[in-house]
Structure 1
């Protein structure tokens, strides 16, 4: 079997070009949002909004002209995208709905407090049909039932159960409040009723592995957070799937100088590999990267290839944090050069730059201050901030 040999620099360039984080922007406007998500399979959702929610931060670093309204429109007006479970809670193309029928069926079989939920499902569906869309506050079933995270109201449990099973989708969100409506009235029939193309569990595992490799650009056959959401995938299944995909020529093995591990890319990305092998220099960019960015789904891999260790410290006790609550990696050219903590103060409409940490001495990055300032200004624009407040020193 063919093996691709890359230097460390070439491996970085391949990943960054695949991600749309090097060279001129290849994802532009609304179509660019759809194109990137189609390439990545999904982007991970998280509701915490310090300087933008995670999917917004993923897209701002890749999509020229991106705004928060753009993603909202594609989700809740145009319905080209949908919120559902892939790698945890995610956003993906509505065209991929068919691939998740086994997850929806599993949720239906295993839902918690099933008897209490089943007793009122028809009544709640009738309420939704009458009102058009509802949140849990619009459905007055306040009895407490056992639920996944903690006891909750029957209203919320039923709506979430129907959402997990794919009978409801999100109509819109107001803050963190989800408003649901009936999937069969709003997803086109040719999408809603298409059978899952993955007939066997083995096909499903192969599809999931290809999807995750495409999301990161390059992956290894090791335990990884990148595999989250591929239901039932264990190391034995993963080994079999990798071997079959490689034998069938769907993935290509990559060896990187001075790294003993083997990596894999999609074979369809060979033209990008050729470009990296034939052209040693690409236009570099400076971008702030989301904490749950697709590129960071396997942080051990990033440490191995980019020599950068990143921990999202949001769940780390304050006294144990090395950096801060919501800190973003700073990518410049083909390296992670530091971390930045920026906060959107909505009351004052100010973007507060709380701190900037460089990986090496600040003098090493004198030529990048203008690029960093440009990123800060773009973040201010993304968050509709009128002013930028520097609580740390940014020198030239």
Structure 2
């Protein structure tokens, strides 16, 4: 609802394709301008854009199959892997993705993997849509993005981290940004016993961190299945260092080489990763648990089993299933 109904969130590029708060839209003005300039280099694109905008304005959201533009053109995105300069792409798909990366269109909704686009001006307020870039320089934009990534992960270190993918920082630049954010009071260093490298969290999270450490926060342990692309797992080496938990998303691993399953999810219980689970919704409307692998030393207590059952019931509902079967 926050994404496609309330429009509090939006699908757009950041760390690859992402979902983020719509109020961050002005910060990505350079992305949209770069995309527009790139799109102008492709023959026919200007005419195609005008045709697509006119049709969507009159008829509402479309996907590449329902936009009445035929043929193929040479095109590729300036932001991600779509299209090619050496091979023609579907003209309808190319113009929709071009207008999307320029910010003229947003993803209105999805049907499976199929994206439906609509005019951004119909769903984003004029104040946000026309706001100026808040950053005065590229370095200021990079610092803002690093701060944002630290907040997303919760705790991050000054290392060559996949959590900082796409920002384009060399080691010295990254070091300077962490020092700058610390000096400005935006982040604070956090030392973890047994690890020499300092971590950093948002200064706004300091009180919460302190209350958790002294046990004054009423936080009951809960069991959660963590999505493979959740920000918490952007830096798997960080996860190994903090939790001694080794996780690999095996969706692209050949079946005969998988250690666990096609789509296993880390299982977090309280403050510990206790294992992995593969639970797949079936065409029969049942969530099928294909595998459950506990970490060594995990005791399957009544509380743990009850928490697992509760989470599986919730996960079944989330996936549109009536119930689950082990």
The question of a shared fold, defined as TM-score above 0.5 by the shorter chain, is answered with: yes
Cα distance, 1:178 vs structure 2 = 1.6
What is the alpha-carbon distance in structure 2 between the residues aligned to residue 286 and residue 198 of structure 1? 40
**How far does the alpha carbon of each residue in 1:352-391 deviate from its partner, in whole angstroms, 9 at most, with x for none?**
01010011156x223412211111111112223223221x
Q: Is contact 2:228-2:249 (8 Å) kept?
A: yes
Cα distance, 1:153 vs structure 2 = 0.4
Confirm or deny that 1:228 pairs with 2:165: yes
Query: Greater helix percent: which structure?
Result: 1
Q: How does 1:129-278 map to 2 (within 5 A)?
A: 129-146=57-74, 147=76, 148-150=81-83, 151-230=88-167, 232-278=168-214
Cα distance, 1:138 vs structure 2 = 2.1
Aligned counterpart in structure 2 of residue 338 of structure 1, from 260, 266, 275:
275
**How far does the alpha carbon of each residue in 1:166-225 deviate from its partner, in whole angstroms, 9 at most, with x for none?**
011122222222221221233211110111111111111111111011111110011111
Aligned partner of 1:311 in structure 2 is 248
Structure 1: state its 5+ residue gaps. 1-72, 391-396
**How far does the alpha carbon of each residue in 1:319-363 deviate from its partner, in whole angstroms, 9 at most, with x for none?**
211111100011112111100000001x2111101010011156x
What is the alpha-carbon distance in structure 2 between the residues aligned to residue 191 and residue 149 of structure 1? 27
What is the alpha-carbon distance in structure 2 between the residues aligned to residue 353 and residue 142 of structure 1? 44
Cα distance, 1:113 vs structure 2 = 6.8
Aligned partner of 1:365 in structure 2 is 300
Relative distance call for 1:138 and 1:277 in structure 2 (3 A) is: closer
The secondary structure found in structure 2 opposite 1:249 is coil
The secondary structure found in structure 2 opposite 1:370 is helix
Q: Is contact 2:278-2:290 (8 Å) kept?
A: yes
Relative distance call for 1:93 and 1:149 in structure 2 (3 A) is: closer
Confirm or deny that 1:294 pairs with 2:231: yes
Q: Is contact 1:313-1:324 (8 Å) kept?
A: yes
Relative distance call for 1:358 and 1:223 in structure 2 (3 A) is: same
Relative distance call for 1:237 and 1:115 in structure 2 (3 A) is: farther
Cα distance, 1:109 vs structure 2 = 2.2
**How far does the alpha carbon of each residue in 1:104-134 deviate from its partner, in whole angstroms, 9 at most, with x for none?**
1122223497223224221222112221222
Cα distance, 1:311 vs structure 2 = 0.6
Q: Is contact 1:343-1:352 (8 Å) kept?
A: yes
Structure with the larger RCO, 1 or 2 (CA within 8 Å, 6+ apart): 1
Q: Is contact 2:275-2:295 (8 Å) kept?
A: yes
Cα distance, 1:280 vs structure 2 = 7.5
**Aligned residues: CA RMSD:** 1.9
Aligned partner of 1:93 in structure 2 is 21
The secondary structure found in structure 1 opposite 2:44 is helix
Q: How does 1:107-122 map to 2 (within 5 A)?
A: 107-111=35-39, 114-122=42-50
Structure 2: state its 5+ residue gaps. none
The secondary structure found in structure 1 opposite 2:200 is strand
Q: Is contact 2:317-2:323 (8 Å) kept?
A: no
Aligned partner of 1:46 in structure 2 is none
The secondary structure found in structure 1 opposite 2:109 is strand
What is the alpha-carbon distance in structure 2 between the residues aligned to residue 140 and residue 113 of structure 1? 23
Q: Is contact 1:310-1:329 (8 Å) kept?
A: yes
What is the alpha-carbon distance in structure 2 between the residues aligned to residue 371 and residue 90 of structure 1? 30
Relative distance call for 1:138 and 1:321 in structure 2 (3 A) is: same
Aligned length: 315
What is the alpha-carbon distance in structure 2 between the residues aligned to residue 277 and residue 387 of structure 1? 37
Aligned partner of 1:23 in structure 2 is none
Relative distance call for 1:200 and 1:113 in structure 2 (3 A) is: closer
Cα distance, 1:95 vs structure 2 = 1.3
Q: Is contact 2:40-2:46 (8 Å) kept?
A: no
What is the alpha-carbon distance in structure 1 between the residues aligned to residue 41 and residue 249 of structure 2? 33
The secondary structure found in structure 2 opposite 1:135 is coil
